[in-house]
Structure 1
Amino acid sequence: MLYGQGLFSVKLGDTAWFVVKVAAVLVLWRSAGVRADCPAACRCEAGTVSCENKGLTVVPPLPPDTSALQLQGNRITGLQELTLQQLPNLEHVRSRQLKFIRHVLRMPENEPVNLYALYTPSHGRRRRGRQPTTYLQYIQQLLGDDSGLLVPGQIANLAADKKNWKLTVACVAAAIDLSGNNLTALTGKEFAAFSSLTRLVLSGNKISDLPRDGFAGPPSLLYLYLDGNLLTSMGDDRFFTLQSLLLLHLQNNRISSVSDYAVAGLTNLKDLALSNNTVSEISRVGFRSLVGLKRLLMDGNRLQSFPDSAFASMQNLEYLDLADNSFSSVEGSQFSGLSQLQEIRLDRNGLADLRSDAFRSLQNLYVLRLAGNRLTAVPRSALQNLPMLRHLHLRQNGIRSISEEDFAGVPSLTQLDLSDNLIGEVDTSVFRTLSSLKVLDMSQNPLSQQRLGPEQGLPSLHRLYLQNTEITDLTADTFKGFSNLTDLELGSCKIQSVAADAFSSTPGLIYLGLRNNTIINIPPGTMVPLSKLETLHLDDNGLAGIEPGSFGQESSLKKLYLQNNFMAVVPDLGQSASSGLQTLVLSNNVIKELTSSSFSAFTSLITLDITDNKLSSISQGAFDELTNLKELYLANNELLTIPGGTFDALTSLEAVSVSNNPWMCDCNIRGLRDDVTTKLDSATFYKFLSDQVICASPPNLRGRSLDQVTLEDQGCDQSPGATSPGPTSTTCRATFAVTFLVGAMFTHVVFLDLFHI
């Protein structure tokens, strides 16, 4: 016995030692990055050195095989040549404090390339005479961000002669991003060495002036971002060296004037942004060099006028933004030369009227935006010269009436926005000439008439917006002529009644919005013509129910919103409408119970929301047909309990909310408690239930979650198969022990008696 125990002990010891060794191997495998040459604060694995969020102020010494370096979330303000030692594999450096520039270091045929110094003017002096220890072939994405770091001065073309070696570094960068730093000034020479630089981002700094002699290169620069700085003016010849520039962004500065030669030489420029400055005037010749410009943004300035032919040289301009200025009028001669202009924005100026020749030069204008001005009528004479106009935006003006003649000059119009005006009545013939109109927005007007469309109709109209108008009744004539309408918005009107044939003329509707009205009844057959309807908003009305037969035998309904009404039961939509419905929102009604047949027809339902009702009873099987349901919301009701197995059929359920119910944790909640405690592995939503079912009563259990309540706490009988896991386990173990002991004693007695011992 002793030998056996000793042998067992030895074997156990060997096993234990084996486990220790395996564990050690696993630890070593898990921490493969812990190498002798790995920085103490970092992790190293497969060539990647990860030093994120370590509070580092300098780049630590790195292993020679480093190919990726992650430094985000540190306090690094510069890169020292002594810290980057022999990293020929470095491909990627990532840091929030160091936004990156691609650098490719070219090398002479037979010489190694050594990065001599990374010079930061704001943080130190350039060191000469010291032999560098950095050996790099490629560095991609280095330098920059919000630590006040400047571009390393004179990285390129450095030559040092010490101990008979020479250093030549030719630096090629594709993009430099130094946005969000504290740069205050530029000499113009910082980027001269970057001969292949195409994109330079200096946004969000504190630069107050530009080099008087311009940028000393790079001539290859295509995109220059200087937005969000403190520039106050654009002096002469600031950009004359940047002949290849395509984009120049100067918005969100404090520029008050643009000199005659500010953009001289930028003949290739395509995009110029001067938005949100304080420019009050434009020189007649200020933009004459911009012959290739396609996009000009001057919104948010203080322009009151501009000289004739100020844009004459911009014969390729396609987009002009002059919104949010102080124009009181515009003249045709001011836009001369803009024959290719496709869109102009004049929103939120002081325009009270437009002259007949205002847009005479804009023969190819496609979009005209005049929102937020002081127009009291449609500027019909100004529109006569715009045969190509497609979109006309006149919202937020003071227009009181419209007539057929207003749009006679724009027969190709496809989108008309007249929202938020003072239009109280529309003649049915007003849109007769707009045979191509697809979108009409008349919302937020005091419209109250019963019919809107012309006699011959508007067969091309697809979307009609009439929300926030004074319409009170919907009749068979209201939408007559809109046979191809797909979207109709009538929310927040004063609609009280809807005729059964109100939508007989709009069989193609896909979206119908009737929210926030005072509709108390939907007559049978109302939705029957709408066989293509997918989304219906009837929320925020006074509906007590939906009449049977409201929907037809053919229905495409997918989403139905009925919240904030007075419904006491789940509405009967008919088999066709119910079976295809995917979203049903019934929150903020007065539903008290869900029966086994409440949702029997809603077999495709994915989202069901019954929050904030009076729900106190859910019958067994109420959700049995909802096998596709993914979201169920039952919060803020009056539920005391839910029968066990209620959620068993919800095999697709992903989210459930039952919080803020007055759960009574007595014996009647036993079935739900058993579901929560025994079915966690089979359905994850039971975890949500266990966290949300918080006992409100009895007093001794108030505040406990359901999974913390035992049958003993509830004072319930522990019938077989329904006992709590804790006592059952203990009882079983005790019973087994007693049974085993009695059995052993009985066997022993029989054995003695059998062998007469």
Structure 2
Amino acid sequence: MRGSAHAHSYLWGPTANGKREHAGGSTVIHVLFNIENQDEMKMRTTVLHYLAFLLEGCLLIASARNCRTEYRFANFDFCNLTQIPPVPGDTFKFILNFNYIREVNATSFTRLEALVELQLGSQFTKYLIIRKDAFVNLPELINLDLAKNEMLVLDPQAFAGLSNLRNLWLYYNSLNESVLEQDYFQHFLSLEFVDLSFNHISRLRPHSLFYGLHSLNTLILKMNRIVVICEGDLHSLQGKSNMFLDLSNNLFYKSEIHYCGNPFRGITFDTLKFQGNGISSDKMLHFCNSVMGTSFLQLNFGSHIMGPGFGFNNTRDPVRETFAGLAESSLKILDLSVGGIFSLNPHLFANLSDLVILQLSRNKINQIQKEAFAGLQSLTNLNLSNNILGEIYVYTFEELSNIIVIDLQQNNIGSIQNNAFSGLEKLEQLYLQDNAIKTVYFFQTLPFTFFINLSENKLDYLNTPIKATYLDFTENRLKDLGSLHKILQVQSVQFVILRKNRLSTCIASGNISEDNQLLYLDLAENMLQIIWESEFCLDIFSKLSKLQVLHLDQNHLKFLPKHVFHGLISLRKLNLSSNLLSYLFPGVFPSNLTTLDLSKNQLLSPSPEIFTSLSQLDITHNMFICGCELSSLILWLIQTNVTLIGSQHDIYCVFPDAFFGVPLSNITVDDCDEETTLKSLRVYLFIFSSVTIVLFIILVVIYTRFRGFCFTLYKRIIRITIDDQMLAMDASACKYDAYICYSGKDFEWVQNALLSQLDSQYCTKNRFNLCIEERDFIPGEDHINNVCEAIKNSKKTICIVTEQFLKDGWCIEAFNFAQRCCNSGQHCTEW
């Protein structure tokens, strides 16, 4: 059931029961949902609606709100209001979103002569009633937002007095077509913009009063329920120029192909947006033939169903006749993005000779036939990104003599014929990123180009100079830093990006031009440390006299070669962040440097003298050792005029443990007065040196004049000391007279030659008590312990040194231990 169009009715959105009600003595018409349309709208709008609503609500709740007026700005979002609060008469902006206001009438607002913007959307009530003369006290209002109310009830005189209103938002209000077909807009003499998207409008037949809206140039009707527009439906918009009409995501796909005339006759369009309406090649042919003669600056048919797409073949690719009806439309911009076009057929756009921009991104384009772009002599911008192109041939871009921008990013391009871009003398920007290109031979025939983006490809070698100003080779597989020599043989190159490659070696191929114009060089996220460790290409920057910006971050750099920046006389900005630098040589940076990034390194105690020429410095997240060695840097940080990038809390100590994480700004250096410390040290060194020299001279004189007496005294002291030690030794403390150390292989000789003649246990007439391993070592005891005890408990140690003795490790160990014991004089062992 639809609302009647009489002069005294209100305009309502859907209600739950569809019955008539009364409010304020006037008839109220309820517009009941059509069940079929309701299901369709749920599929298309519910998710987007609630996501947007929740996002905006969360952001506003999280922000601080004052629920008051300040600086002529009245902010009353989320204030649980049920009535319009009073505000000062000079308020210029009044926000009342997200409240519980149910009704606005002639007494709701006091006279606000200065108010230019009013927001009254997203009320938490079931409906919002706008009664007669509700805004009559707001004569200067320019922007009125009533969007996102569950149901909006409008009196026919609701907008009385808003003759200066320019912009009106009425989206998400469950409004039907009556809002356009009745005379609710009769008071809008200056209206320029109307947003009626996400409503329930099923037909488009604006009231005749739209003739008088001479300033109206924007009408947004996306996400409604419009099925068809016929000739005469937009009669009240005839005569308007530069019109922006958005009919996206309606239900035009439900209408059958039949002749309905030209609904846009007499209207000159800036932009007509028709995307998301299920436009097939046949419907596109019908549309273009229907609007023949109408002038469009821009047509947007994105999210169409032209072309077979992938896995089905129920729609065909567009052909030359498809767009023939637009031949006299003076079309400048055509958007056919997001669809299923597989092949661009010959002479497809031959009738669009005025076309300047062609958007074909996000289709399934795999083939570009010969002469596909024939007739596009005026085309300057071609977007073929996000398709499935695999090859670019010589004929692909024929006849695009005025092309300036070609976008081929995010395809599967692996091969490009050498002359593919020849003849494109006006080409300035070429986007080839995110493809599978391995070689760049095609650049040999490429005319001079301002911007070339080859990032995210599979390039592993640059074999030819490239005539361009801006070159981007980010995220390829280049290994040789010497490629920079090849690039800079062309004087026109000013910007080079080699970030995220595999640069780890350097073989110079050609010489860098002395007249190179390079201004910007990005070598970040490579492996320059390996190159400079091998002492290759230490002079890579020596001829870059005009370079102003250099990025060397994330290169695993542990050191900087001493003269690596020699020649960079114009360098202003240097990025060395995220490396492993712990020390910087004085003078390593050029004196003209003004901005330096050393964050996320391992600097311990850098000298502030290194940073004297800078105006900006970032040394956050380093490994500062907070001792007196760092006092000069701490004092410099306090006194310097250099702008420190990042928070001071990120410039902190890591050692000693007691200062871990403490910002340098909180460290005091009162106990580290360098001058006082140096003076004290000089005094101590002078005294020590003087005393040492005097004592040395006295000792030399004494020794020279009394050396005989000194020698006699020395001998007497030695003799007394040795005699005292001998007397102190208790001979009875020694268990054995001697320990015989020998190799087990010499036992027979030792037994016959020594033991039988000396050892008392062999013969009672022998005088000595000897210790031998086979008889006197304790069984089970560690062998070395037995040896040690034997040596310590013997008056003498006798080693039978033979060839076998020298080969026996235990014998050598016993010999060494006996020697140490004898030298220490701590027991009775002698030699």
Residue 622 of structure 1 deviates from its aligned partner by: 3.6
Aligned positions of 1:591-740 closer than 5 A: 591-594=557-560, 597-623=563-589, 625-630=590-595, 632-650=596-614, 652-653=615-616, 655-659=617-621, 661-676=622-637, 680-685=638-643, 691-710=649-668, 719-720=675-676
Distance 2:141 2:293 in 1: 30
Q: Which residue of 1 aligns with 2:177?
A: 210
Counterpart selection for 2:300 from 296, 318, 321:
321
In the TM superposition, residue 184 of structure 1 has moved relative to its aligned partner by 2.3
**Matched residue of 2:524: which SS?**
coil
1:532 to 1:722, Cα distance in 2 relative to 1, 3 A: farther
Cα offsets for 1:555-574 (capped at 9, x unmatched):
32221111122223595345
Please state if 1:369 is matched with 2:359: yes
**Alpha-carbon distance change, 648 to 689 in structure 1, aligned in 2, over 3 angstroms:** farther
Distance 1:478 1:412 in 2: 20
Change (3 A) 1:314 1:224: farther
**CA deviation string 1:84-141 (max 9, x = no partner):** 78x5xx3x42233389xxxxxxxxxxxxxxxxxxxx993366679xxx9x677x3431
What residue number does 2:95 align with? 96
Aligned to 2:145: 178
The one-letter code sitting in structure 2 at the alignment partner of 1:350 is: G
2:631 maps to a residue whose letter is R
Deviations 1:173-221 (A, max 9, x none): 5634215441623546245524734524224432332326423313635
Percent of matched pairs sharing the same residue? 18
Residue 272 (str. 1) matches residue 284 (str. 2): no
Report how far residue 409 of structure 1 moved: 5.8
Counterpart Cα distance in 1 of 2:381 and 2:564: 48
In the alignment, is the contact (CA less than 8 A) between 2:430 and 2:452 conserved in 1?
yes
1:488–1:369 CA distance, 2 compared to 1 (3 A): closer
Partners of 2:674 and 2:389 lie apart in 1 by: 78
Summarize the Cα distance change of 1:337–1:221 in structure 2 as closer, same or farther, 3 Å threshold.
Answer: farther
Residues 417, 708 of structure 1: CA spacing in aligned structure 2 closer, same or farther, 3 A cutoff? closer
Q: 1:342 aligns with which of 332, 355, 368?
A: 332
Deviations 1:636-662 (A, max 9, x none): 222221124332332x22x41331x33
1:702 alignment partner AA: F
Contact 1:546 1:571 in 2 (8 A): no
Partner of 1:69: 72
SS of match in other structure, 1:234 = coil
Q: Compared with structure 1, are the counterparts of its residues 421 and 197 closer, same or farther at alpha carbon in structure 2 (3 Å cutoff)?
A: same
Matched AA of 1:320:
L
CA offset at residue 324 of structure 1?
A: 0.3
Summarize deviations over 1:648-693 as a string: whole Å, max 9, x none: 332x22x41331x3322233323323323xxx24425469696433
Give the secondary-structure state (helix, strand or coil) at the position aligned to 2:334.
Answer: strand
Tell me the secondary structure at the aligned position of residue 630 of structure 2.
helix
Aligned pairs, number = 580
Contact 2:224–2:250 (8 Å) recurs in 1:
yes
Deviation readout 1:508-547 (Å, 9 max, x if unpaired)? 5443536532322406853452223221122223334666
**Structure 1 stretch displaced more, 287-296 or 245-254:** 245-254
Work out whether residues 535 and 557 of structure 1, in 8 Å CA contact, stay in contact via their aligned partners in 2: yes
Return the alpha-carbon distance in structure 2 between the equivalents of residues 317 and 512 of structure 1.
37
Query: 2-side partners of 1:178 and 1:690: how far apart?
Result: 44
Matched to 2:486, the amino acid is: T
Looking at structure 1, the residues matched to 353 and 335 of structure 2 have their Cα atoms a distance apart, in angstroms, of: 16
AA of the residue aligned to 2:151: T
Q: Alignment partner of 2:72: what SS?
A: strand
Distance 1:95 1:597, change over 3 A: farther
TM-score by length of 2: 0.60
Distance 1:190 1:284, change over 3 A: farther
- Give SS of 1:497's match: coil
Amino acid at match of 1:612: S
Distance 1:554 1:351 in 2: 48
- AA of the residue aligned to 1:489: N
Q: Secondary structure at the match of 1:271?
A: strand
- SS for the counterpart of 1:541 is coil
Pairing 1:490-501 to 2, within 5 Å after superposition:
490-499=454-463
Q: 1:45 is matched with which residue?
A: none
> 2: distance between equivalents of 1:638 and 1:386?
58
Separation in structure 2 between the aligned mates of residue 485 and residue 550 of structure 1, nearest angstrom: 22
Q: Counterpart of 2:236 in structure 1: which amino acid?
A: G
**1:230-379 maps to which residues of 2 (within 5 A)?**
231-235=199-203, 237-243=205-211, 244=213, 246-260=216-230, 262-269=233-240, 270-281=243-254, 284-285=259-260, 287-294=262-269, 295-304=271-280, 305-306=282-283, 307=286, 311-312=290-291, 315-327=294-306, 328-329=315-316, 330=318, 332=321, 336=325, 339=328, 340-353=330-343, 359=349, 361-379=351-369
Q: Deviations over 1:411-462 (max 9, x none)?
A: 5555444444455544445555xx3x2xxxxxxxxxxxxxxxxxxxxx5444
- Letter aligned with residue 655 of structure 2: S
Q: Following TM superposition, by how much is the alpha carbon of 1:227 offset from its aligned partner in structure 2, in angstroms? A: 4.3
Q: Secondary structure at the match of 2:631?
A: helix
Shift of 1:587: 1.3
Cα RMSD of the aligned pairs, angstroms, is 4.2
TM-superposed deviation, 1:257: 1.8
Q: Counterpart amino acid of 1:258? A: V
- The 1:531/1:402 distance shift into structure 2, 3 A limit, reads closer
Looking at CA atoms only, which structure, 1 or 2, has the larger radius of gyration? 2
Q: CA offset at residue 273 of structure 1?
A: 0.4
User: In the aligned structure 2, how far is the partner of 1:358 from the partner of 1:342?
Assistant: 16
8 Å Cα contact 1:496/1:519 also seen in 2: yes
Closer, same or farther: CA 600–690 of 1 in aligned 2, 3 Å: farther
Please report how far the alpha carbon of residue 344 of structure 1 lies from its aligned counterpart in structure 2 after TM superposition.
1.9
Q: Which deviates more from structure 2 when the two are superposed, residues 637-646 or residues 144-153?
A: 144-153
Is the Cα–Cα contact under 8 Å of residues 311 and 334 in structure 1 kept in the other structure? no
In structure 2, what is the Cα distance between the partners aligned to 1:575 and 1:698? 41
**Which amino acid is 1:206 matched to?**
N
Q: Secondary structure at the match of 2:629?
A: helix
Q: Which amino acid aligns with 1:495?
A: L
CA contact (8 A) 2:382 2:406 kept: yes
SS at match of 2:189: coil
SS at match of 1:498: coil
TM-score, length of structure 1 as denominator length: 0.66
In structure 1, what is the Cα distance between the partners aligned to 2:67 and 2:106? 25
- Residue 452 of structure 2 aligns to a residue whose secondary structure is strand
Q: CA deviation at 1:272?
A: 0.9
Q: Which amino acid aligns with 1:267?
A: Q
Secondary structure of the equivalent of 1:249?
strand
- C-alpha contact 2:129 2:153 (8 A) present in aligned 1: no
Letter of the structure 2 residue corresponding to residue 210 of structure 1: E
Counterpart of 1:234, as a letter, is S
Deviation at 1:322, TM superposition (A): 1.0
- 3-state SS of the aligned residue for 1:71? strand
- Measure how far apart 1:633 and its partner are: 1.9
1 CA distance for matches of 2:404 and 2:600?
47
Is this contact kept in 2: 1:546–1:573, CA < 8 A?
A: no
Query: Which residue in 2 is equivalent to 1:122?
Result: 102
Which ranges in structure 2 are unaligned for 5 or more consecutive residues? 1-63, 307-314, 680-831
1:55-102 Cα distance to aligned partner (Å, 9 max, x none)? 34xx89xxxxxxx73312554958869x578x5xx3x42233389xxx
Q: Which consecutive unaligned segments of at least 5 residues does structure 1 have?
A: 1-51, 61-67, 100-119, 158-168, 438-458, 724-757
- Counterparts of 1:236 and 1:527 in 2: how far apart (Å)? 59
